[in-house]
Structure formats: C-alpha cells, structure tokens
Structure 1
Amino acid sequence: MPSMVTSVPGIVNVTTACWSVDCGEGGIGEIKYMATGYFDHQDGQTTSTNLQSQGLLGAGWRPLNRELDWQFLWHLAMHDSAELSKKTVDVASAIADTLGRTNYSGWANLLSVFSSGTRYELDEFWSYITPEPPSPDYRHVPSLTVETPVLQQVSRTNIPIDYVLNRLQELTILKVLELLGKPVLITQYYFDRYFYLPIEKFISWERVDTIDTVNAYWPQQDIWLQIQNIGPGRRRLTLLARELNSLISKATYNLAVMLSGYQSRVGQIQSQYAIRSFSADVQEFSDRVQQAVFDQNQLAVLVHGEPGTGKTAWTQAIAKEVLMPLGYVIFILDHDAVENFVPPTYLEHICLIINEADNLAQNRANVAAQSSSKTEHILSLLDGTLHQSVLEEGRIQAQQRFVVLMTCNTMERLDPALLRKGRVDLIHEFMHKFV
C-alpha cells in the first residue's frame, strides 16, 4: 500500500501507511498493521501498570506500532525543519555519547544503546517523526453522549424526566451501534501506549475491556465511538459524526416515551382502536391532519369534546398509524412533565401528546392560572421559542419536524394566546360517544 496522508472531514489526519483497510463485503474491513517495533514511553513502569497492560494483552489486545511515513516526515521537514533538526541532533548526540564511552568495551556500549536512558531519547524522537494513530477530533465533530448504565433516581415529588430521557439516549446509541455492526478499527491508549483489538476478537461492546479510553472507527460511515471508564461497571459512550441523523432515525423507529410520575418509561406506542373505527367526521379530520403532517414542519392540533368521545384514543391512533411510520418519536406528557420537558435536539421527528390541555394552558387572567408556568411552557413548545432559541455547542442538532396533539374537554378555559393564529393549526370537536 503506498504511503500517503488522507484527510477525513472533522477527523485528525489519518496516515494510511500506519494502518490499511481492506474493506470486504458490507464495508466491514480488516486492519493490517505494518509495524517494525514499539518503543516504551515510560522508564520504570509500576507493577500495577504492567499488570493492567498484561490484562489487555491477555484479553486479546495487541500493541499498536507506529510506522514511519515518508510523506509525513517530508511534511515535518518542510514545515517544522528547526524542531526536526534539533531533535535529530539530540538523539544522534545521545547515541554517540553512549557508543563513544572509553571505559566500556564496544559490545557493552552497543547494548547500552537499548538501555532505558537512551531508549527514552529514541522513543521521544520516534513519536515525533511518526504520525499518531487516528483518533476523533472533538473540536469539529458533533457528539451524542450518555453514561451507561443509566441510573434511576425517583422521589415522591419529582417525575424522573432526566432518567427517562437519558434512557432514551442510551437506547438510541446502543441501537446505532447495533446498526453499524463491527468497526474497522478499535484502539485503546493506556499509560503512553497504544493497543488495538483485532476485529476477529470483537464479540460485543459490553465485553470490550476498557481500562482508560477506547476509540472505534467506521470509515465507510465516518463515525467514531469513544468509550471511557468512569467507575466500577460504568462507562461513558460518545458517538461522533458529522452525519448521524439517518442512523438515529432508524434506531428510534417505533419508540414512545411516557412521562407521567412512576409510569414514566420508554417503549412502543400502542393503539386500541384504528382511525377508521371513528365516526365519519373524525376520519375526514384525520385525513386533513395526515396531509398537514406531510406539508408542514411544525403542526399543532387541538381536539375538544365531552368525556368519552374518544379524544385520547384518537391521538394514540394518529400516533400509531400516521406519525410512527414517518419516524416520529412519541412523547406523552402529563401535567408535571409539561412544565419541565425540553425536546431532545438529536431527534428529527417529534410528536407531543398533551391530554387535558384545558387544565394546563388555562387563561392567565384567572387567579388559579397565575401560580403556574404551564401555560407559558406550552406556548413556548408551540412556538419553538424556548427549546430552539439556543443550540448546544458540540451536540448533534437535527432539523426537526414537530407535531403537537392536544385534547381538552372544553375550550372555554384555554388561554386565548393558545388559540391565536400560528399556534394551533387544526381544531375539531368530537361530538359522538365512543366506546
């Protein structure tokens, strides 16, 4: 394989002389290392460090050797010639001093070249003139991170919104990894040494020994995974890629999230009744909603009517038959969740179901509504002014399509601002008892 330096968008320069990828069927390749030797960075390692390294070697990891790349060396000579000359003179001087000792025999001086003192000089020089193994570049690549396993902390006064949303993020990352399959490269940097895990020894991410930091790379999709050990039995998983939205959409297909006290959970949307089991006027309204979903990036729908007319059942049917096939992740929010919910920015398609909106978005002219911020929060969700006003730096930001389905028994108590043009797009009254 010819020696060359390739630039991967958003990723540090990757020297293909250091590692070559022979991509097979499906794009999953095999790493072939062309190494001649590895110089230990550290003089006098501790016993525990040696044991950790031996543990990696025993688990199937192998030292990752740094290769001399002539184009990379030429690049140093052209752009950092002063430092290259200084380091070359330093290492040559160290070797000359060792070989020129007069109080030792020639063979002793030759062996001394490979002693710990001279070896450190050689190692430092080798690290300078050879490119590092490929690694993700956090400065330019959006990321999606979660600490796993996600721990649940529930109290009687708080709905575990953070837990459920973190659990959704964990499921998303794990599903993306399942869709990606085996990576082409798995490396680990520990105590100034690089190791790699042969792909044929990879079984699952749970069984990858993580002492410090593991990096995995899929060149076909240009995606990095970083695994950090953050404590006994706990890891931090980070996906880095410029384009990850299509995989996230596949990973979150048919997912629903309920945020309602102790019932909060991540699962799949269920609907007991089909849309065509409703009355003719509701079916016609459902067709209008479906068309609006296709036409608009943001849609708000309000249905009202007496209890027992099938409003909640209808929202579930729309979610199941219309939105879920289009890749929408469904969030069902209760009273307390509405006040604290912020839509995840990494999801492209989001549907919010808010039942009993007349008890939440009450007219702020009433004294009872003035003690709560639920009305303002629902208005900000409809406008997008709250969750879209600031984009988090370094995180995956999807171009979102947003659907809000609201139900209420009566519109009399709703805040007039909710019904203002541009906030609620479609309104329908349910008049027939539904069983």
Structure 2
Amino acid sequence: MEFDYFGQHEGSPVNNNRQSLLASGWRPFHREFDWKFLGQLMLHDTQELTQKSLNLASSIAETLGRNNYAWWANLLNIVSENTRYEVEKFWNYITPDPLTPDYRYKDVLNTDTPITQFVSRNSIPIDYVLNRLQEITVMRVLKLLGRPDVITQYYLERSFYFPVEKFVNWERIDVINTVYAYWSKDDVWLQIDPYDRGRRHYSLMAKNLSPLINKATYDLAIMLSGYQSRVGKVQSQFMIRSFPEDIQHFTDIVQQAVLNQNQLAVLVHGKPGTGKTAWTQAVAKEILVSLGFVIFILDHDAIANFVPPTYLERICIIINEADNLAQDRASEVAQHSNKTEHILSLLDGTLYQSVVEDSGMQMQQRLVVLMTCNTTERLDPAMLRKGRVDLMYEFTHLFI
C-alpha cells in the first residue's frame, strides 16, 4: 500500500524544489506496513489509535454519504487531495518513521564545508587551518565509510530516499533540506544541513568515532605559523640512522618513552647546526607518524592561541627555539610576555583539561612535545622541573 501526496500548485517554488530532487535522483520514500509496530501502537497507544481510526472512518463516511452529490461524484471524491491527505496522515501514524540519528551518541564531529578564510582581528589564520583540519578529518572519515546503507531527506512533510547504488560522492548529492545517512556496520550517522551559497554543515554521530578518526588523520601534519599556516604531511630531509650513534641511542630511549607514557616532553639543546630541528622532523616522520600521531609544528605566535583538538587521540607538538619562548620570568624581556606561562600550562596539560566540555568527543589523549633550544640557560627554571620535561639531551656534533 502506497500513498503519494504533495498538494502544491504546478510551477510553485516548492514544487520546483521537489522536481529538482526527483530530477537529481531522489525518489519518494514509501512507508512499509509493520505488524510489530502496529502491535506496539495497539498495546501502548490504544486510545490515540482508536480515535484516529474513528476520525478517518468518519471522514470517509461523510464523503460517501453526501446527499447533494451523485453517488459516483462521492466515490470520485474519495481520491481527492483532501481525502488522500487524511488517509496518508493515518498511514504515517500506523507505520514506522524512517530511521533518524540517535542524538544520544557520545561522539559527535562537525564541520562546515567549504571552509572560508576571513582574516580579521576576530579570525586569525590559525583558526582557519584548525577548521580546515576538522573538515579534512570529516571528509576522510566519510571516504573510509564508503557507500552508506541508506540516504534519506525530509522535505515538505514527505520523506525521500536516494538509491545507494547510484551514490558517487557527497558533493553530487542534492541537499535542499536535512539529509541523513547511516552505516550499520560501523553504527555511524551523518547529518547534512544546507547553508547559503552552497555551503553545508556535516555532523558525524556514533558511539565511538575514534578508530575512524585515527585512520582518517594518519600522516597529517599541521604548520601553525601566521600566514604560512597549512595542513599537509611532515617532511624530513635526514633519516634517524644518519645522525651520530649517541643521538640514535637517545632516539631509542625517546621511542620507548613514547610507547610507555601518555604524556611526554623532550628537550634537545645545542649550538646552531647540530641538527636539533632536523632530528625532531625525523622522529616525527619515522616514529610518531607510524604510531598514529598528528604532528603540529608551532611558531611562537601560534603557542598563545593553540589548544590541542579534543577529537584527536594522539598529538605531537614541535616547538623550535624554545629558549626564545619560555624565557626566565625573572628577566625583563619575559615580563612583557605570557608565553612562558602558556607553554608551562601546555606541558602540564592544565591549559586545555581544566574545563571538560559537556558535549562532543572526549577521550584520553596522548601528547608528545618535542622542543629545541640553543641553550638552557635562558629557560625559565620551572620548565626544567621534574614532571614537565621528561627527557633532555645535548647535541654536540655539528650536523649541518
């Protein structure tokens, strides 16, 4: 049994939108009868079911029993728009609704797309790159999920579905109202809401998105450095085995500590040209990326505006020339900056863990901080306290 009601005049904007949906591959969703669902209504909503049944029967009887029309006119009126609308309302009541997301799911990841960059006092380039990272993550997750089991769209009191066998990509899906998609294997929902000028808002919902996000963010590196900020992959000019033996041995210690600790801070120091920055890049590329860490390379300005994204499980932060950042607060130069306090809070984890969000994704993050400096003499003493910097090493061989 199927009902199809639109109730719009030909040529109206709403009707044109419906035609656009049908022309782009969407099809009306026909609700199917379910004896189990009807049984639940009879058991738990008896009064409402009885009332709606009597109302429908009364409406049909009134249409058939009109005295001022011929019997055949009354019979034709049964298929009129008004009567069909009443029948469809009843049919929608006694049949189950199309599947919709479970908004109680704990893990939610959102993004607007395409991301637009606005440079102003209230929107710095770092914000754009972090939003771009979130957009890339969502799109990579969707690519990993592949073709969904169902795609639906509700418009003008009517549900439509898109045949999944015709699905190519999300950019080619026509979105007029809210679109839902579901992957039963991973128990993941997608909600797409349209914005103006072709922009869209994507929301992923699941009981556990972490495995998919970890796969989606593999091999990603983010440079946060003013107008040079960008998302890409970490590059390393030198291999770890090209460093002196003592540094290779220290690298083995660092690797073991990464495996054993949820939070690790490493500081390497030495004269310019001893390969400190090259070493951090080599460790990031050969060790941390392979372990699933997302690499963030921060300059001194980015430190003051950076909070590790909560949806990432493994994060590595690289800070070069830390002696120009976390300077001794007793010095006159450091008193004109709060960067020392910021990096100390970052190392403690208190900066972004002091308040836990009541929505969105929350997970036990693993954080690795790799720092370089020319000398430790200018560093604030609090930096070198036990529990902040776990491993230190001096590079003494000229490498470059």
How far does residue 157 in structure 1 lie from its aligned partner after superposition?
A: 10
Decide whether aligned partners of structure 1 residues 157 and 302 sit closer, same or farther in structure 2, where only a CA change above 3 A counts: farther
Decide whether aligned partners of structure 1 residues 42 and 415 sit closer, same or farther in structure 2, where only a CA change above 3 A counts: farther
Match of 1:20 in 2: none
Tell me, yes or no, if structure 1 residue 215 matches structure 2 residue 180. yes
Amino acid across the alignment from 1:172: T
How far does residue 156 in structure 1 lie from its aligned partner after superposition?
A: 9.3
Q: 1:324 aligns with which of 289, 292, 300?
A: 289
How far does residue 119 in structure 1 lie from its aligned partner after superposition?
A: 2.5
Match of 1:80 in 2: 45
TM score, norm. by length of structure 1: 0.88
Percent identical across equivalent pairs?
A: 63
Query: Could you tell me whether the CA contact under 8 Å between 1:41 and 1:124 is conserved in 2?
Result: no
Query: Could you tell me whether the CA contact under 8 Å between 2:106 and 2:208 is conserved in 1?
Result: no
Distance in 2 (CA, whole Å) between partners of 1:97 and 1:369 is 87
Tell me, yes or no, if structure 1 residue 279 matches structure 2 residue 250. no
Match of 2:386 in 1: 421
Larger deviation, residues 385-394 vs 88-97:
385-394
Query: Could you tell me whether the CA contact under 8 Å between 2:300 and 2:325 is conserved in 1?
Result: yes
Query: Could you tell me whether the CA contact under 8 Å between 2:8 and 2:15 is conserved in 1?
Result: no
Match of 1:57 in 2: 22
Q: 2:230 aligns with which of 265, 268, 271?
A: 265
Distance in 2 (CA, whole Å) between partners of 1:146 and 1:81 is 43
Query: Could you tell me whether the CA contact under 8 Å between 1:42 and 1:192 is conserved in 2?
Result: no
How far does residue 303 in structure 1 lie from its aligned partner after superposition?
A: 0.8
SS of 1:364 mapped into structure 2: coil
Amino acid across the alignment from 1:267: G
How far does residue 431 in structure 1 lie from its aligned partner after superposition?
A: 1.3
How far does residue 41 in structure 1 lie from its aligned partner after superposition?
A: 6.4
Query: Could you tell me whether the CA contact under 8 Å between 2:275 and 2:399 is conserved in 1?
Result: yes
Decide whether aligned partners of structure 1 residues 218 and 277 sit closer, same or farther in structure 2, where only a CA change above 3 A counts: same
Distance in 1 (CA, whole Å) between partners of 2:196 and 2:154 is 17
Query: Could you tell me whether the CA contact under 8 Å between 1:43 and 1:116 is conserved in 2?
Result: no
Query: Could you tell me whether the CA contact under 8 Å between 1:159 and 1:259 is conserved in 2?
Result: no
Alignment of 1:231-270 (within 5 A): 231-270=196-235
The unaligned stretches of length 5 or more in structure 1 are 1-35
Cα deviations across residues 209-261 of structure 1 (Å, max 9, x unaligned)?
11111111111111111111111221111111112211111111111000011
Query: Could you tell me whether the CA contact under 8 Å between 2:267 and 2:371 is conserved in 1?
Result: yes
Cα deviations across residues 253-285 of structure 1 (Å, max 9, x unaligned)?
111000011211000000011112112221111
TM score, norm. by length of structure 2: 0.96
Match of 2:255 in 1: 290
Match of 1:391 in 2: 356
Larger deviation, residues 70-79 vs 153-162:
153-162
Match of 1:307 in 2: 272
How far does residue 120 in structure 1 lie from its aligned partner after superposition?
A: 2.6
Amino acid across the alignment from 2:341: E
Larger deviation, residues 38-47 vs 313-322:
38-47
Match of 2:83 in 1: 118
How far does residue 399 in structure 1 lie from its aligned partner after superposition?
A: 2.5
Q: Aligned residues, how many? A: 400
How far does residue 392 in structure 1 lie from its aligned partner after superposition?
A: 2.7
Cα deviations across residues 330-378 of structure 1 (Å, max 9, x unaligned)?
0000011001001111111100001111111122222322332211221
Distance in 2 (CA, whole Å) between partners of 1:397 and 1:142 is 8
How far does residue 117 in structure 1 lie from its aligned partner after superposition?
A: 2.5
Amino acid across the alignment from 2:229: S
User: Once superposed, what is the RMSD of the aligned Cα atoms?
Assistant: 1.8
Decide whether aligned partners of structure 1 residues 59 and 345 sit closer, same or farther in structure 2, where only a CA change above 3 A counts: same
Match of 2:100 in 1: 135
Decide whether aligned partners of structure 1 residues 157 and 184 sit closer, same or farther in structure 2, where only a CA change above 3 A counts: closer
Match of 1:360 in 2: 325
Match of 1:205 in 2: 170
The unaligned stretches of length 5 or more in structure 2 are none
Alignment of 1:89-168 (within 5 A): 89-154=54-119, 159-168=124-133
Distance in 1 (CA, whole Å) between partners of 2:124 and 2:225 is 7
Match of 2:314 in 1: 349
Amino acid across the alignment from 1:200: E
